[in-house]
Amino acid sequence: MPEAGFIAEEGTSTKKGDVYNWIIDPLDGTTNFIHGIPCFAISIALMRNQELIMGVVYEINFDECFYAWEGSKAYLNGKEISVSKIDKVSDSLIATGFPYYDYSRLNEYMELFKHFMKNTHGLRRLGSAATDLAYVACGRFEGFYEYCLQPWDVAAGAFIVKQAGGKVTDFKGEENYIFGREIVAGNSAFFPEFLNDVKQFFK
């Protein structure tokens, strides 16, 4: 492989590759880790030019390794996984994350939060976006949305969701979810309705 660069949390590397770049979060869910709450993960993705070609999310506490590569299915500890087949928002369980320093869209976020509280099986906030996305990939959650995220939070998990048969976009339904600081991910069956709900509140 040609010499690769790194995009990593904490600014641990400023070296950028011309073709290949690793996108790494050595500990997604740092606040959980500090407080002894068992949900945090290692997230590693590989990007060729502007395209993701590999993703690994290792949730440490449950010893669960989710992974996929270009042209592959998605796997959890060696077993193939896929997104759920729930096709209605009203029957879904959704994950999200709370904004923790950018409150510029808080009103929209809270209105959407209330909407999903009233119109789904429930919302969960685990505190690790990488884990949330991995759980979408294996069908534990139907969908996930959040804003104010960094590439290392979402790259690996988003790729695994897609390889597991899911959909991933930004809030507009476009492809700028790795560097655009907003993401919507879910199973393909309920995704159009899910995305439409997000669009209604984040215009």
pLDDT in tens, 150-198: 999 999 999 999 999 999 999 999 999 999 999 999 999 999 999 999 9
Same domain, 107 and 177: yes
Q: Assess whether pLDDT exceeds 70 at residue 10.
A: no
Residue 8 has pLDDT above 90, yes or no: no
Same domain, 95 and 194: yes
Q: How confident is the model at residue 18 (pLDDT cuts 50, 70, 90)?
A: confident
- Least Cα distance to 39 among 179, 134, 145 occurs for 134
Residues 97 and 170 both lie in one domain: yes
Domain boundary among 81, 100, 116: 81
Residue 186 sits at the vertex; the CA angle it makes with 85 and 134, to the nearest 5 degrees, is 100
Q: Does 77 share its domain with 101?
A: no
Q: Are residues 70 and 143 in the same domain?
A: no
Distances (CA, A) of 63 to 15, 129, 161, 168, 185: 31, 17, 19, 25, 23
Q: Same domain, yes or no, for 101 and 195?
A: yes
Would you place residue 82 in the very low, low, confident or very high pLDDT band (cuts 50, 70, 90)? very high
Q: pLDDT value at position 172? A: 97
Q: Which amino acid is at 200?
A: Q
Question: What CATH number is given to the structural domain containing 19?
Answer: 3.30.540.10
On whether both 28 and 66 belong to a single domain, the answer is yes
CA distance 156 to 42: 10
Q: Are residues 94 and 150 in the same domain?
A: yes
What global pTM score does this model have?
0.95
Sign of torsion, CA 88 94 184 172?
A: positive
- Residue 87: left if φ>0, alpha if ψ -120 to 50, beta else—which one? alpha
Cα separation values, 25 from 151, 156, 157, Å: 9, 9, 11
C-alpha span between 152 and 45 (Å, rounded): 8
Residue 149, domain extent: 89-201
CA distance 41 to 102: 23
Structure token pair of residue 200: 């209604």
Q: Which of 97, 193, 185 is nearest to 141 (CA)?
A: 185
Contact 154, 129 (CB under 8 A): yes
- Final residue of a structural domain among 30, 52, 81: 81
Shared domain check, 24 and 107: no
Over 80: is that where the pLDDT of 52 sits?
yes
The overall average pLDDT reported for the chain is: 94
Residues constituting the chain: 203
CATH number of residue 97's parent domain: 3.40.190.80
d(CA 145, CA 94): 8
Point out the domain boundary residue: 49, 81, 113.
81
The verdict on 31 and 95 lying in the same domain is no
Counting residues of the chain whose pLDDT is more than 90, the rounded percentage is: 88
Number of domains in the chain: 2
Residue type at position 100: Y
Element (DSSP H or E) covering residue 107? helix 106-119
In this structure, the answer to whether residues 71 and 104 fall within a common structural domain is no
Co-location of 75 and 96 in the same domain: no
